[in-house]
Amino acid sequence: MTSSSSELIQDFARLRQIYKDGHVDRLNWCEYVPPSFDPTANVYSKDIVISKDEEISARIYLPKLNDPNQKLPLLVYFHGGGFVLETPFSPPYHKFLNTIVSQAQVIAVSVHYRRAPEHPLPIAFEDSWTALKWVASHFSGNGPDEWLNRHADYDNVFFSGDSAGGTIAHHMGLRVGTEGLQGVKLEVEGIVLVHCFFWGVERIGSEAEKPEVAAFMGKWWRFVCPSTPGSDDPLCNPAKDPNLGKLSCKRVLVCVAGNDLLKDRGWYYKELLEKSGWEGVVEVMEAKGEGHVFHLFNTKCDEDPSAEA
């Protein structure tokens, strides 16, 4: 490697470093945990390939069952990490999904999409849509994965994600509502958006008090989506999306953290949905005194959140 090719051209607070020759160092959260049976949670997991050519895969979670034909609610989960970091196979997400599947008694598909900057947005959205179509291919019980064929209840489907993954979950709900899924009548019961990455040019709430952080957010969005027209891109700003009222689900839960700069965007999203003509029910749950995606690293937090219907 020449000195020119190894020249550092961007360094995002040691989250990652980008070099002149295009190679990237992801400095944190790059560990891999293999699928397994978790005896504490009583949950099995396995990895599957959705598209070999596009490197799209997923980790599927199934709780230990007494009835070999039991049907369970289906959760499709999209991980966070700013569209850049993390995978379904990293320790925080593997542990989190084990806990969710155990406590909620659901079958879960945790989607692995390609990440920026090697694969800039909207690739992550397109990969997630490909994964969702693969999940829907099991609707009649004849898909490639036996766990989904046997146990997924397609009348009781949920989407969820945190941070960037919440943004993806939101858009998957919109896309089901506007395009449908290959003739499959997928019943999306609810969408859970956790500390969702939404942004915009106009400052709202506490954003005006932290101009440096706000500037970073805009810079980050342009970094992961070089083709964007800016922070009012409907991909990150639902206020600019004319299809918002077509969100395909009955209920939305928006989780925000009291110390997260994105908190006000979560509350604003509730207002936007209610004014969009969407006929579902949206609720916001706020965890006081907590930061962005705290739940991934403090899984035993006893904080009693406040909620507003």
Active centre residues (catalytic)? 163, 260, 292
CB atoms within 10 A of CB 281: 14
- Cα–Cα distance, 257 to 259 (Å, whole number): 6
Three-state secondary-structure class, residue 107: strand
DSSP string, 232-284: T-TTT-GGG-TTGGG---SEEEEEEETT-TTHHHHHHHHHHHHHTT--SEEEE
Distance separating the N- and C-terminal Cα atoms of the chain: 57
Q: How much helix, strand and coil, in percent to the nearest 5, is found in the chain?
A: 30, 25, 45
- As a whole number of angstroms, the distance between CA 127 and CA 51 comes to 9
- CB of 222 within 8 A of CB of 164? no
Planar angle of CA 26, 27, 31, nearest 5 degrees: 80
Phi and psi, residue 91, nearest 5° = -55, -45
Strand, helix or coil at 150? helix
Helix (H, G, I), strand (E, B) or coil at 121: coil
Distances (CA, A) of 16 to 13, 156, 262: 7, 38, 21
Would you say how long the chain is, in residues?
Answer: 309
> How far, in Å, CA of 181 to CA of 137, rounded?
9
